[in-house]
Structure 1
Amino acid sequence: MALLAVTACSGVTPVARPPATRTAVSVMTTGVAPASPVLDDRLGGARDAVAAAVQQAVVDHDLQAAIVRVTVDGRDVWTGAVGTSMTGVPATTDMHFRNGAVAFSYIGTLLAILAGRGELDLDGTLDRWLPGLPHADRITVRMLATMTSGYADYVYRPEVLDGTDADPFRQWTDDELIAIGTSQPLMFEPGTNWGYSYTNYLILGQVITRITGEPLDVVMDEEILGPLGLRNTSSADTAQIPPPVLHSYTSERRAFLGVPAGTPFTEDATYWNPSWTTATGAVQSTDIVDLAATAEAIGSGALVTPALLAEQVGKRLVGVGERTPQCPVCGPLTADRTYGMGVLLLGDWIAQSKNFAGEGGAMAYLPSERIAIALVTTLTPDAWDEQGVAGDPSLPVLRAIAAAVAPDHPLGPG
């Protein structure tokens, strides 16, 4: 039976693992803040609790690797890397990975910034910038940002599902993806329900470029990444990721490729093309330090006024939403689980998550305690079933870490 090996500096107690085909992994911690009355008074034994939660997640979710950072007031409480990026290559805290829907939180902040300057009316309809878009005269910027527009999600259309399976390296364009989403009937009348749809944020990317006259990646750099000092977060129009890179593995194409059940099958998906996941210019990679800094910056409103922060993270949609025959992906929003502009609002936490090609991730910020959590995970072959399906451990692992550092503020359901 393999044991989880740990370095002496981590303070983690080894936990027995069930038999597995992979080698033992280790925890690397870096930059843990020295003892201070502020951190010790507020968090007590949180360092050990976080380390234990991360290690338990490896067992519970068949993780190949996990990189985690927890800060308070921007100060490092625990930063560590568990497991391997590739066979014989340990995961490290400086590795880069895709941030996925975390970029939605940047877009939400950009909308707040532009609204604060008077360049954008959140309740203005899309026909001002995109008059040719279906239903543009009935759908507002706010509806796009809060997922209440009714536009169908292109992600679940056969053109995209089969297209990405057939060629995971394909370069998609925003125009073709928006056309796929908006060519479908509305899931509901604009503003009357809530349904998650990537189509909304591709359209918002085009709105922002129309307002500013600049490509979205340039606007991101000027308004978000530069001011926040996020030096390891960058946009790319290709599948490129700066080194060092956390590798991810997936079995999700098993059914599409007809791989028989019982036949071992995983693929290195690290450089699969993520162009279908969000707007050009918002397809980004990052590292764990920048991801934690993002959680704090978005959650605290570092770039916007309190009034505009309330526009982004206020729980305006509580009580909205219901599943209908026309919208099976819709559902009710509650005080424990609702949505702002580009952010998940889970209990008292402001959060976002991502899941792409076997790699999950999440960030969260607790304003009352000024705690930020960031994590990224990859999966072992054991995590995938015989149909090539695996759960996304991002929010469960985030929830466990949140319970370790702020037991009085449980993370709401994802």
Structure 2
Amino acid sequence: MPVSVTRARASLRALAVTVAAFAVLTSTGCTIVGTHPPSSPTPAASPSDQTRIGVIAGSDPRAAEITGIVEAAIPELALQSVVFGVWVGDDEIVRGAVDSPSAPLPTATDALVRVGQPMEAMLGTILLQLGTEGVVDLDAPVSPYVPELVNADRITPRMLANTTGGTPDYVTNADFIARVHADPFAHYTFSELLGYAQQSPPLFAPGTGWAYSHTEMAALVQVLERASGQSLEDLMQSRIYGPLGMTRSSAHQDSEIGQPAMHAYTNQRGVYEDSTSWDPTWGFDGGMNAPVIDLGRWLRALNDGDLLTAADAETSLAPVSAGLGGMSAQRYFAYGSLVADGWIVGNPILNGYQGFTAQERNPSVTIVVWSAVAPANTETSNASQTIAQRIAAIVSATPFTM
């Protein structure tokens, strides 16, 4: 996601209060690393003064090095908690959770996080599936599905998936930002989100430029639902989660999150507060919760084209936006994915959750990191990206840059 979008998302974090269930970390046939002292231990540290680490790892020696990177990042980057997973090919190198000594509750290795942006590539996959099945014409106007969208008679579903329709992003609207800060529990409908976006004129003629737009992703959800006659939840379950065995993932259009959940926090309203239960429907009239292991499975499937025909799989990650809006053949946006120098990357920032996903295309390397900030964190950058880049330097010969 472009830096400007990341900053806009960061400006929207706010208060929420939740109660999380205590989760016990268990595993079979794996190494479990328990409570560790902090990197710079204080004399006679009690358990409450210790960094909590729960790790599932095999015999790969890189597992300990990766865990050390995450542990060191907790105090360095002012973080409360981190959940992470790393795979080389289909082999899991390590997966775990690390909490600072000040974390109110321990984070489970299978904790649910709010996903945000990586869900957009799933929407792109569903669109390509429906196109091949003849359910929706990817190159016909979207006016039958979202007639209220400005330029609906010229914007196509394919443009929505690649955000090349020129529709302004409601996230940058001052009235919208003010409402989110005033009430972080507010629920948003597509009509409301579109209303904020269309207070501004189109950015460019449909298909002539590229600019990331939450609005166009929200409109894509409407197209998928209205063309298929199914809800977002049903589409995701039948076409993504079920086929891939993502058993703990769920799509939703409310603020629900299951347990165990990773707690999120934010300073954005001038006080450090738990934001786990803040309503996420401002994202694009939909949301997703998932554990790290499910996100890793999705990234590998996206890279391999497991859910698409060979032709659609190639299209889904092709440089379709190259030459538009600063995109190039080396760095471009395609059907919900940002592809940069041979990596598929995502950097969602949602309701105090800072995430980063990175999938090296060839050879296959998968990195998933989600973090929550501690009180001293100013939230001006995505700590999960920093951690992911450090991990990439260990498991890949071509670490990514952003």
One-letter identity of the residue aligned with 1:102: P
Q: Distance in 2 between matches of 1:369 and 1:188?
A: 38
One-letter identity of the residue aligned with 1:288: V
Does structure 1 residue 412 correspond to structure 2 residue 401?
Answer: yes
Partner of 1:58: 74
Q: Distance in 2 between matches of 1:305 and 1:8?
A: 40
Q: 1:177 aligns with which of 193, 203, 224?
A: 193
Alpha-carbon shift at residue 122 of structure 1 (Å):
2.3
Alpha-carbon shift at residue 50 of structure 1 (Å):
2.0
Does structure 1 residue 288 correspond to structure 2 residue 292?
Answer: yes
| SS, match of residue 364 in structure 1 | strand
Partner of 1:315: 319
Q: Distance in 2 between matches of 1:65 and 1:336?
A: 33
Does structure 1 residue 117 correspond to structure 2 residue 133?
Answer: yes
Alpha-carbon shift at residue 241 of structure 1 (Å):
0.9
Partner of 1:366: 360
Partner of 2:303: 299
One-letter identity of the residue aligned with 2:284: T
Q: 2:170 aligns with which of 136, 154, 157?
A: 154
Alpha-carbon shift at residue 10 of structure 1 (Å):
8.1
Calculate the TM-score normalised by the size of structure 1: 0.82
Alpha-carbon shift at residue 232 of structure 1 (Å):
0.8
Does structure 1 residue 270 correspond to structure 2 residue 276?
Answer: yes
Alpha-carbon shift at residue 116 of structure 1 (Å):
1.9
| SS, match of residue 383 in structure 1 | coil
One-letter identity of the residue aligned with 2:58: A
Calculate the TM-score normalised by the size of structure 2: 0.85
Runs of 5+ in structure 1 lacking a partner? 1-6, 36-44, 255-264, 322-331
Q: Distance in 2 between matches of 1:155 and 1:297?
A: 30
The structure-2 alpha-carbon separation of the partners of 1:192 and 1:12, relative to structure 1 and needing over 3 Å to count, comes to farther
Partner of 1:28: 54
Q: Distance in 2 between matches of 1:14 and 1:24?
A: 6
Counterpart mapping for 1:318-329 below 5 A = 318-321=322-325
One-letter identity of the residue aligned with 1:33: G
The structure-2 alpha-carbon separation of the partners of 1:167 and 1:8, relative to structure 1 and needing over 3 Å to count, comes to closer
Counterpart mapping for 1:350-361 below 5 A = 350-361=344-355
Deviates more, 1:150-159 or 1:176-185: 176-185
The structure-2 alpha-carbon separation of the partners of 1:96 and 1:28, relative to structure 1 and needing over 3 Å to count, comes to same
| SS, match of residue 376 in structure 2 | helix
Does structure 1 residue 333 correspond to structure 2 residue 327?
Answer: yes
Counting matched residue pairs gives: 367
String of CA shifts for 1:266-304, please: whole Å, max 9, x gaps. 111110111111233xx1111111111111112221100
Q: Distance in 1 between matches of 2:105 and 2:281?
A: 27
Deviates more, 1:177-186 or 1:338-347: 177-186
Alpha-carbon shift at residue 72 of structure 1 (Å):
2.4
CA contact (8 A) 1:353 1:363 kept: yes
Partner of 1:244: 260
One-letter identity of the residue aligned with 2:127: L
Q: Distance in 1 between matches of 2:363 and 2:296?
A: 15
Q: 1:228 aligns with which of 244, 262, 268?
A: 244
Q: Distance in 2 between matches of 1:409 and 1:122?
A: 35
String of CA shifts for 1:19-61, please: whole Å, max 9, x gaps. xxx943132111x2346xxxxxxxxx43233223323332442
| SS, match of residue 215 in structure 2 | helix
Deviates more, 1:76-85 or 1:205-214: 76-85
| SS, match of residue 289 in structure 1 | helix
The structure-2 alpha-carbon separation of the partners of 1:241 and 1:375, relative to structure 1 and needing over 3 Å to count, comes to same
Q: Distance in 1 between matches of 2:399 and 2:210?
A: 24
Alpha-carbon shift at residue 204 of structure 1 (Å):
0.4
The structure-2 alpha-carbon separation of the partners of 1:370 and 1:379, relative to structure 1 and needing over 3 Å to count, comes to same
CA contact (8 A) 1:295 1:374 kept: no
Q: Distance in 2 between matches of 1:150 and 1:278?
A: 16
Alpha-carbon shift at residue 66 of structure 1 (Å):
0.8
Q: 1:107 aligns with which of 105, 120, 123?
A: 123
Q: Distance in 2 between matches of 1:24 and 1:52?
A: 15
Give the percent of matched residue pairs that are identical in Structure 1 and Structure 2.
29
Q: Distance in 2 between matches of 1:158 and 1:148?
A: 23
